[in-house]
Structure 1
Amino acid sequence: MKSPLKAPPLRNPGESGQQRLQALFDDQVMPYLIAAALFTMVAFMDWVRWLNDSPPSPILFSATAVLAIAICAVKLHAGIREAKAIKLGRDGEKVVGQFLERLREQGAQVFHDIPGDRFNLDHVVIHPSGIYVIETKTLSKPDHGECRLVYDGQSVRRNGKAFDRNAINQVCAASRWLRVLLIESTGKTPPIRPVVAYPGWFIERTAEAKASAVWVLEPKALPEFIAQSAIQMKSEDVRLFAFHLSRYIRGAQK
């Protein structure tokens, strides 16, 4: 007996984040939970023996159990913080992916979580108006005060400060990688536009940003921006690029 599926399924939005979340739990949480539980159980058994005037002393195992619990608590605290960050990023990618799915009604092909060379592309939309490489950045918002990002065409700033990792450079590098991949597989040069999406944030764009080749948008506006852009590809080109990209994704998962 064998599977009836001839090719593996394409990836879902946030799939890399889900895998990282599972790996974090398996590697950095579960082993310490098991160790703490084991030493606690051994210490408890020795205490029972000691209370019943049995020879074994529970002091050594109790000290070991306390140490194991302390290490577990430290690891759990760090793991929970990392898990929250991963979950936030994963959920942001899902939200952006759901907005992008609307573009299928306009003949677009939508792909999520495309594996690259030690990185991944969150979303790629192949639409008659072009190919859009979309990087999702999900940032926590303050409970009070203004929630505004400023895009000046070179970087994105929050409260006047640029982020440590420049999302513009990141999405441009991803776009160059995809362009090379599609040129090598199809022999055609695709019209690619880099996009950075910030779910839930108001984006203020300067005059320089409006002239930039890189879009920085709240994802709710993204489908409209794509739909209103000038047509650059025929339907057969859309299908051609989509076919080769889907073939690459399935091949990368084997």
Structure 2
Amino acid sequence: MKNTKSPLKEKLLRTPGQSLDEEINKIIDDQALTYLLAPIFFIILAIMEWYKWYMAVPPSPWTMTIMALIVAVFSVYKIVPLRKKLVALRQGRDGEKAVAEMLNFYREAKMKVFHDIVGENFNIDHVVVSTRGVFLVETKTYSKPMKGKTEITFNGQTIIKNGYRFNDDILIQVKGSSKWLRDLIEELTAKEVEVQPAVVFPGWYVRMTNEYKSDIWMLNPRNLDKFIMGKKEILTDEDVKLISNHLSRYIRSTQE
């Protein structure tokens, strides 16, 4: 109704996995539906042509049947990889939500927790702001083998997943995101604050060997509290409030 408006005055903060939800919906709406509806359309046309033929109306069923088959085969060809991508995205989204539930502990400890902070062509899954510092948490949700070990090892330079070198892009991503967040906080608050990056792997046993020095933590999300609570307090309550307020405003300003 035009004479009414929402009672909510401010835009909401983003929810865990919101970027992945948006990407999932975009794939379904913009791509998957097209490949599903196209063959249905031509199949209906083919049925109509066969009906005309059966009713002795001058038919042309073979043309429409061939077209329907071509479109159906093409659509299946396009949908299969989309389905795989949607499975991966949903798994990633569920991983972010699972980590977000674990982070509720930090809110009880009077820490500020933010989810899905959007930058330019990327997003940060979670940010924790506390007197112990600012922590960037990136969630990586990977499928596990049905049997056998599920171990990720990080020596400070290389990620080893079940004995195989794995995806060094994670390090580049997290370092870039941490720098961006550090610069954003400085721009918003005029305070220089170090950002501690962490990568969590739900469901995996994660071991850091510290063979090479690295500022990035890699761990199972259940161990996050030990790492954060083990840090010394470096920010005041006023600092936490200042940073949190500015981050909240920034997140709301990025909402469409």
Instruction: Tell whether the structures are fold-level matches, with TM greater than 0.5.
Output: yes
Count of matched residue positions in the alignment of Structure 1 and Structure 2: 253
Gaps spanning 5+ residues in structure 2: where? none
Q: 1:137 aligns with which of 137, 140, 143?
A: 140
1:18-46, CA deviations, whole angstroms, 9 ceiling, x for partnerless residues?
A: 11111111122101211111100010111
Q: 2:225 aligns with which of 223, 226, 233?
A: 223
Q: Which position in structure 1 is the counterpart of 2:180?
A: 177
- C-alpha distance in 2 between matches for 1:206 and 1:127: 27
Give yes or no for contact 1:149–1:204 (8 Å, CA) kept in 2. Answer: yes
Q: 2:216 aligns with which of 210, 214, 217?
A: 214
Give yes or no for contact 1:151–1:205 (8 Å, CA) kept in 2. Answer: yes
SS at structure 2 position matched to 1:208: coil
Give yes or no for contact 1:156–1:166 (8 Å, CA) kept in 2. Answer: no
Gaps spanning 5+ residues in structure 1: where? none
- The alignment status of 1:198 with 2:207, answered yes or no, reads no
- C-alpha distance in 1 between matches for 2:222 and 2:203: 9
Runs of 4+ more than 4 Å apart: none
- C-alpha distance in 1 between matches for 2:6 and 2:55: 59
Instruction: After TM superposition, give the deviation of residue 168 of structure 1 in Å.
Output: 2.1
Instruction: After TM superposition, give the deviation of residue 68 of structure 1 in Å.
Output: 1.1
1:213-252, CA deviations, whole angstroms, 9 ceiling, x for partnerless residues?
A: 2111100111232122211111111111001111111111
Q: Which position in structure 2 is the counterpart of 1:237?
A: 239
Which shifted more, 60-69 or 228-237?
A: 228-237
Identity across the alignment (%): 40
- The alignment status of 1:29 with 2:32, answered yes or no, reads yes
1:42-53 to 2 correspondence within 5 Å? 42-53=45-56
Instruction: After TM superposition, give the deviation of residue 169 of structure 1 in Å.
Output: 2.2
Q: 1:73 aligns with which of 72, 76, 94?
A: 76
Give yes or no for contact 2:158–2:168 (8 Å, CA) kept in 1. Answer: no
User: What is the one-letter code of the residue matched to 2:92?
Assistant: G
Give yes or no for contact 2:159–2:168 (8 Å, CA) kept in 1. Answer: no
Instruction: After TM superposition, give the deviation of residue 208 of structure 1 in Å.
Output: 2.9
Provide the aligned C-alpha RMSD in A.
1.3
Instruction: After TM superposition, give the deviation of residue 3 of structure 1 in Å.
Output: 2.6
Q: 1:121 aligns with which of 117, 121, 124?
A: 124
Q: So what's the TM-score if we normalise by structure 2? A: 0.95
